Amino acid sequence: MEDAYNTEELSVVREYFSHNIRTSTAMVVATVMVFKCGLGDDMENMSDVISESAYFLDVYDKGMEILFDFVLGVPVSTDKEEIEPSRLISHFTTKVPITIAEQGISLSVDTDSFKFKSNGHIVKNLLEIILCEEARKSRGSVKITGRNGVYVIEKENPGETPAIFAIFARLFGKLGIGFSYGEKRLELRFGQ
Amino acid sequence: MKILIADDELRLRKVVALYLRKCGHDVVEAENGKQAVEMAEKHDPDVIILDVMMPEMTGLEATKLLRQNERTKEKPIILLTANAGEKDYKLGGEAGADRYMTKPFSPKELMEAVSETVK
């Protein structure tokens, strides 16, 4: 029987989430071990480090289900809820302050209170993954601006663009959201 | 012992380096494969620990370069990876790594692997 799904995309999804889940788990294991060895004085915020890793694990675990379902052709739910991107971004920055500080990121956020309706579970998770990617891989200045549903992330020193962004763009497209990405600039057009 | 560790995950690298220093080792850090190759020449480490997936140059590419260099070709290399597939183990061996460890790992396990690899 011929596969009805794209095996190359399945592989991209598996590798992306496996890598990130294993890396976040490694962070928890290594931090606990170092703490157990009495090195807590050197990293007084270890419990916060573990909390941030747990947040990353939660985001990647949800994302894995969403992306596998999409690549396997599970219909995207048409259920809609109100989404306010600026609130999501603000929530994200409170979740990972240590990562942002350790990466030496100078984050500036300037967004309006634009709201739109879409599949909240998918949109929120993909946006969180994109923000996680930028928080963990970028260095220096990261500027997020949002006006009338067009959100732009500009990076001074970007990390590598993950191959999974191409699948994100297709999934966002199913929800009527434009997602374009380059090395130093990402753009999301919500509610188009 | 002087240990070179390369990982683009800054926080994980810092935590592991902290543990290795606590064990009494001299640790030098690199954030990608290219930097690791340069630092291996400069610092002459006793063992090299490389993450596989790094920007600019992967751990596999760095391993191949280190194996081609007269000064570093005999250095013990441990690859750390978040890829646990069968093909990944094979690629690590083909690149010339002495040992392949998958994430998550405890720093204690890594230290044991370092001791065994250097023997």
Q: Which of B55, B103, B107 sits opposite A33 (nearest CB)?
A: B107
Give this complex's ipTM: 0.80
> Rounded CA gap, A13 and A128, in Å?
16
Output the six-digit token pair for A103. Answer: 């990466």
For each of chain B's 119 residues, which pLDDT tens digit applies? 999 999 998 888 988 998 899 889 999 999 999 999 999 999 999 999 999 988 889 999 999 999 999 999 999 999 998 877 777 777 877 888 999 999 888 888 898 999 999 87
The pLDDT tens digits for B17-34 are 988 998 899 999 999 999
Q: Which residues of B touch A140 (CB under 8 A)?
A: none
From A81, A82, A76, select the one nearest A174 (Cα to Cα): A76
Is residue B44 within 8 Å of residue A65, measured between CB atoms? no
> Rounded CA gap, A17 and A62, in Å?
10
The answer to whether A101 faces chain B, any CB pair under 8 Å, is no
From B112, B81, B77, select the one nearest B97 (Cα to Cα): B77
In this predicted structure, what is the pLDDT of residue B45? 97
The answer to whether A138 faces chain B, any CB pair under 8 Å, is no
Cα dihedral B109, B111, B114, B118, rounded to 10, equals -130
> Rounded CA gap, A172 and B21, in Å?
46
What is the CA B49 to chain-centroid distance, rounded?
1
Contacts of A122 (CB under 8 A, 6+ apart): A66, A76, A77, A171, A175
The answer to whether A37 faces chain B, any CB pair under 8 Å, is yes
Q: Which class would CATH give A81-189?
A: alpha beta
> Rounded CA gap, A70 and A47, in Å?
35
What is the layout of strands, in order, in the sheet containing B77-81? B26-30, B2-6, B47-51, B77-81, B99-102
Angle at A115 between CA A111 and CA A118, to 5 degrees: 125
For each of chain A's 192 residues, which pLDDT tens digit applies? 445 678 899 999 999 999 999 999 999 998 888 888 777 665 557 788 889 999 999 999 999 999 999 999 999 998 899 999 999 999 999 999 888 888 889 999 999 999 999 999 999 999 999 999 999 888 889 999 999 999 999 998 877 889 999 999 999 999 999 999 998 999 999 975
Cβ contact (<8 Å) for B83 and A15?
A: yes
> Rounded CA gap, B6 and B13, in Å?
7
Q: Which residues of B touch A43 (CB under 8 A)?
A: 15, 18
> Rounded CA gap, A152 and A144, in Å?
6
Q: Which class would CATH give B2-118?
A: alpha beta
The answer to whether A22 faces chain B, any CB pair under 8 Å, is yes
Interface of B with A in 2-31 (CB under 8 A): 8-12, 14-16, 18-19, 22
Domain ranges of chain A: 2-71, 81-189
Cα dihedral A114, A116, A120, A122, rounded to 10, equals -90
SS3 track for chain A: CCCCCCHHHHHHHHHHHHHHHHHHHHHHHHHHHHHHCCCCCCCCCHHHHHHHHHHHHHHHHHHHHHHHHHHCCCCCCCCCEEECHHHHHHHHHHHCHHHHHHCCEEEEEEECCCCEEECHHHHHHHHHHHHHHHHHHCEEEEEEEEECCEEEEEEEECCCCCCCHHHHHHHHHHCCCEEEECCCEEEEECCC
Q: Which of B9, B15, B102 sits opposite A34 (nearest CB)?
A: B15
Please count the other Cβ atoms lying within 10 Å of the Cβ belonging to residue A185.
Answer: 13
Cβ contact (<8 Å) for B19 and A15?
A: no
Q: Which of A23, A26, A39 sits opposite B18 (nearest CB)?
A: A39
Interface of A with B in 57-86 (CB under 8 A): none
Cβ contact (<8 Å) for A23 and B82?
A: yes
Is residue B80 within 8 Å of residue B105, measured between CB atoms? yes
Tell whether the torsion through CA atoms of B31, A154, A46 and A30 is positive or negative: negative
Q: For testing the chain A interface, which of B8, B10, B11, B88 should be mutated: the one with the most A CBs within 10 Å? A: B11
> Rounded CA gap, B60 and B62, in Å?
5
In this predicted structure, what is the pLDDT of residue A1? 44
